[in-house]
Structure 1
Amino acid sequence: MSSPIHLQIKSLYKDFSPKEQAIADYILENPSKVSHGSISDLASELGIADSTFFQFTKTLGFNGFKDFKMALLKQENDLTAITVHENVQKNDSELVMAQKVFDSNMTTLTDTRKLLKEEDLKKAVTMISESRRLYFFGVGGSEIVATDAYHKFLRSPIPVGHSTDYHIQLMEASLLTEEDCALFISHSGKSKETIHIAEAVKKAGTKVIVVTSQANSPLAKLGDVVFISISEEIEFRSEALASRIAQLSIIDSLYVILMFRNRNNAQDTISKVRKVILKQKE
């Protein structure tokens, strides 16, 4: 498997059954023990049948336990280096609290970067480049990321659109065609409003890019290209909030690649935008 196993487990975790989550937790907490143990011993310690552990490895995309174990052994150095960031404690100083937030953000970015695939980046940017229009969709906290993306891509040579109002988003979606591209942002990938819009544009033949933290979510299944953002949760900040920095970085990457691919037109567009903005600053 090209993706680190612990990140693959994290991206699927919320779709696991309680029993599968228990197996996942055990693997994440005891990677070396799992990579050197027998399926019978591991299953016995977890209080489950051998077949249950075997089936879990199949769920992850492996041919079985032996295939999973070989991959785990290859990645053991990375896995044993994993540390779960200690939650912010009430006795921590302000500096320590801030440092823990930064540590969490850095882990989020590092983990997400490991899941990036060149073919996905190429495909997504090609879809955007060949589109008549690019629209950004997101609700709630994801709408903030969509607005940032819209603000950024306004500088690109591709016409873009976005609205902060859900009903207007629905109206915009109804007008998209197979010549357009839609980028959806949703941490859970389960937002009913976002899925409703995605289903509508998909039916119209619109190309769909999805940025989410849940690889098996309903929204992810609608994407022509899917980017997974991995995040660490700390006290007073949910996983959804933590994932924003990774989502923003994914969109930043698409923007930079697009601009370099369309360098001449991009420079012309940026020049026009800068001239207008500079006049307001004089």
Structure 2
Amino acid sequence: MSIQSTIEAAASTLTPSLARIALVVRENPSVVIDNTINELAAECDTSVASVVRFCRAIGFSGYAPLRMALAAELGKEAAQFSARGAYGSEISDADTLQEAVSKVAALELLAIEETVARLDFTVLEAAVDAIDGAERIILYGLGASRFVAEDLAHKLLRVGRNAHIPADPHEAVAVSVLPTASTVAIGFSHSGSTLETVRFLETARTSGATTIAVTSAKDSPLTRAADHPLFTEVRESTFRAGAMVSRIAQLTLVDCLFLGVAKRRYTETVDALQRTGQATRALRG
């Protein structure tokens, strides 16, 4: 996991003083390289001790190791993306539309590459096993995560799997509490702390369902409610409200899950996709 993705994932769980440091570093990672620990503390309106705690919270023993590792990471990424003229995570008001689009594309490519590189295939296989053997699959997410949940549900429905998306939080809890045999519940939340999604997964697990989480936060309530947690590696853009990059990373895991399930019954899957494709084309005349 990259340092910047680690900071992104940890930001929501940090104390206010450490969260201020995360925000500054997230918006401009070079601030760590360009400033001493005292200068960074002043920039973030906090103490040197808080900067040290921040370093430890993201897996480093102190500021010097963080500076060295982050300098190496930024150098590698600069070389990777400089040829495309798209390096840099932050979109500024001075960027042209082409520059802004290139920056988002770079972040999305990084999200896909880092998510797949860090994917735990043992967990993925277990999740695929559970979905493949399920009589009922319930998927839930809010906001942009709902669109991702719908994408996987539609894919599973196209190959004959019993997939369902509850309409609202109340329905999600209601259907997840029913002790139907062989149920899999899948919760989607980038932060891992969306209350309604966490409650859905916790209720499903208590009722005997196998639970799967798709999130970026390894230490989160959603992760703790999951039998099989799958993690995205994401650095969002300035315009985080749109869940631009996190959505792409979640969709990558959706495709991994679907491919795993599809390959278990390859011939049946191909036949189902052909038949459903022909049916929808017939509707278009």
The share of aligned pairs that are identical, in percent, is 24
Shift of 1:193: 2.0
- 1:132–1:180: 8 Å Cα contact kept in structure 2? yes
Match of 2:254 among 251, 254, 257: 251
- TM-score scaled by structure 2? 0.76
State the partner residue of 1:29. Answer: 30
Does 175-184 or 67-76 show the bigger shift? 67-76
- Report the secondary structure of 1:233's partner residue: coil
Q: CA deviation at 1:239?
A: 4.6
Question: Equivalents in 2 of 1:128, 1:4: separation in Å?
Answer: 30
User: Quick check: 1:137–1:162 contact (8 Å CA) kept in 2?
Assistant: yes
Q: Distance between the aligned counterparts of 1:130 and 1:66, measured in 2?
A: 49
Q: 3-state SS of the aligned residue for 2:221?
A: coil
Superposition pairs of residues 48-197 of structure 1, within 5 angstroms: 51-62=49-60, 68=66, 71-72=69-70, 75-78=73-76, 83-88=88-93, 96-97=96-97, 100-101=100-101, 103-116=103-116, 117-119=119-121, 120-176=123-179, 179-197=182-200
Deviation at 1:246, TM superposition (A): 2.9
Shift of 1:201: 0.6
The alignment's C-alpha RMSD in Å is 3.3
Aligned counterparts of 1:23 and 1:231: Cα–Cα separation in 2: 16
Structure 1 residues without counterparts, runs of 5 or longer? 35-40
SS at match of 1:158: coil
Distance 1:187 1:157 in 2: 28
Distance in structure 2 (CA, Å) of the matches to 1:221 and 1:183: 13
Matched letter for residue 142 of structure 1: S
Cα distance, 1:32–1:45 mapped onto 2, change above 3 Å:
closer
Q: 1:37 aligns to what?
A: none
On the 8 A contact 1:232/1:239 being kept in 2, the answer is: no
Q: 5+ residue gaps in structure 2?
A: 80-86
Counterpart position of 2:230: 226
Counterpart CA distance in 1 for 2:93 and 2:253 is 27
The worse-fitting range, judged by mean Cα deviation, of 191-200 and 168-177 is: 168-177
8 Å CA contact 1:57–1:65 kept in 2: the answer is yes
The alignment's TM-score, normalised by the length of structure 1, stands at 0.76
Q: Say if 1:49 and 1:79 are closer, same or farther in 2 by CA, change over 3 A.
A: farther
> Aligned in 2, Cα 1:270/1:148: closer, same or farther, shift over 3 Å?
same
Runs ≥4 residues deviating over 6 A: none
CA contact (8 A) 1:88 1:100 kept: no
Q: Secondary structure at the match of 1:75?
A: helix
Query: In the alignment, is the contact (CA less than 8 A) between 2:112 and 2:248 conserved in 1?
Result: no
**Closer/same/farther in 2, CA of residues 240 and 274 from structure 1, 3 Å limit:** closer
